[in-house]
Amino acid sequence: MQLLATPYCEIQHDPERALVRVTRNERPYQSLDDLDVEISQVGAALAGVKGHWRLMVDLRAVAPRNDPAFEMAVARLRDCMFRHPERIALVVKTAVGALQVKRHVREDHVDAEVFEEETLALGYLLTPGKAARISDRPRGHTPVPRHYTPVSQQYELIQVGRRF
Mean pLDDT for all residues in the chain: 83
- For 83-144, give the DSSP string: SS-SEEEEE-SSHHHHHHHHHHHHHHT---EEES-HHHHHHHHHSSS-PPPGGGS-TT--PP
For residues 6-30, give the mean pLDDT: 96
Q: Is the pLDDT of residue 135 over 60?
A: no
pLDDT of residue 20: 97
CA dihedral 57, 29, 84, 21 (to 10 degrees): -30
48-68 pLDDT, tens digit per residue, is 999 999 999 999 999 888 788
Q: Which domains does the chain have, with CATH numbers?
A: 2-163 (3.30.750.24)
pLDDT of residue 130: 54
